[in-house]
Amino acid sequence: MEVDVLNVFRHRLKDFFDFDYQIECFVPAAKRKYGYFSFPVLVGDSFVAKMDAKADGKQKKLIVHNLHFE
């Protein structure tokens, strides 16, 4: 079983980087802030955004639905 390390240690993201992160795939659609499966975006030593993206394997493209900068 694979474990999402960022989800398990999300309190550390808040403590060390002042960055709130929560995977929202289990949150009702009407209550989501950032998207179904948003990921933190790390630039250098700072988390700068949350990106809701999906890989399209047939077209070999990454589709970015939302990008929310901090």
What residue type is 1 in one-letter code?
M
pLDDT at 51: 94
| Residue pointed to by tokens 């900068």 | 69
pLDDT at 1: 44
State pTM to two decimals. Answer: 0.71
Residues 6/40, Cβ–Cβ less than 8 Å: yes
Q: pLDDT tens digits, residue range 6-49?
A: 566 778 878 888 888 888 888 899 999 999 888 889 899 888 99
Q: How many helices (H) and strands (E) does the chain have?
A: 2, 3
pLDDT at 50: 93
Distance between the two ends of the chain, CA-based, in angstroms?
32
